[in-house]
A and B are shown apart, each in its own frame.
Chain A
Amino acid sequence: GIQVEQSPPDLILQEGANSTLRCNFSDSVNNLQWFHQNPWGQLINLFYIPSGTKQNGRLSATTVATERYSLLYISSSQTTDSGVYFCAVVRVLTGGGNKLTFGTGTQLKVEL
């Protein structure tokens, strides 16, 4: 099956710093999503980003589908950004629906 690798696995930032998280995938996909899992385990969808660049506040994401990678940028980080960031690649299932294959995540801790 498709492989999804994320880097770095762990990251510690001082509040206000910027960071870039990377997601590499091994095959073509229909779509790619970025999720944030907060310290209480809740998963929140951040972006749909099959290609190109999107921005939402302090977060932005870029996917280069032809080179099979995506980047998530976090600017001016805050302690509330702490948690695990997952990318998930999307393939359409037989019979409809989407199968998301998740990477192993980047554990981010933002300190004061």
Chain B
Amino acid sequence: GAGVSQSPSNKVTEKGKDVELRCDPISGHTALYWYRQSLGQGLEFLIYFQGNSAPDKSGLPSDRFSAERTGGSVSTLTIQRTQQEDSAVYLCASSFPGLNEKLFFGSGTQLSVL
């Protein structure tokens, strides 16, 4: 596609429910990143994919968070048993990898856990 597409744009859920967030990267981009932005904060790195593998999962905040990528394209971020502190904007970015790679960000999913 023309840009990085994320869905849904907004998600309201109840505490304890599971949610899935989707990222559709720019066609041909092999690198994919998930970031989280809490209200008034900077961006927190969650996970990086190169193709379908995730060499760096160090940013996932707990074992309730998981992510996968299939076919080297679409990625889903799953949060199980959501908590109120999970409320944030979840941003996805994709790129061609390299030292000077330019990351293209999607518009994010605003997650609200009630």
Q: Interface on A for B, CB 8 Å cutoff?
A: 4, 30-31, 33, 40-45, 48, 86, 88, 90, 92-105
Contact = CB atoms under 8 A, between A and B. Distances in A.
Contacts of B113: none
Interface of B: 31, 33, 35, 41-45, 48, 50, 53, 55-56, 89, 91, 93, 97, 99-105, 107-108
A96 B101 contact: no
Contacts, number: 66
Given A42-B107, A45-B103, A96-B97, 7 more contacts: A42-B105, A86-B42, A96-B55, A97-B33, A97-B48, A98-B103, A100-B43
A100 B53 CA distance: 19
A94 B48 contact: no
B55 A94 contact: yes
Nearest to A40: B107
| Chain B interface, DSSP helix/strand/loop, else mixed | strand
12 contacts: A41-B108, A42-B107, A45-B102, A45-B103, A48-B102, A92-B99, A94-B55, A97-B56, A97-B97, A99-B56, A100-B45, A102-B44
Given A43-B91, A92-B99, A96-B50, A86 B55 contact: no
A79 B50 CA distance: 38
Contacts of A31: 99-100
Contacts of A92: 99
A101 B48 CA distance: 13
Contacts of B56: 93-95, 97, 99
Contacts of B89: 41
Contacts of A90: 99
A86 B31 contact: no
Given A42-B107, A93-B48, A96-B97, A102 B55 contact: no
Nearest to A92: B99
Contacts of A97: 31, 33, 48, 50, 55-56, 97
A102 B107 contact: no
B72 to A, nearest CB: 14
Q: Which among B42, B53, B93 has the greatest number of chain A C-beta atoms within 10 A?
A: B42
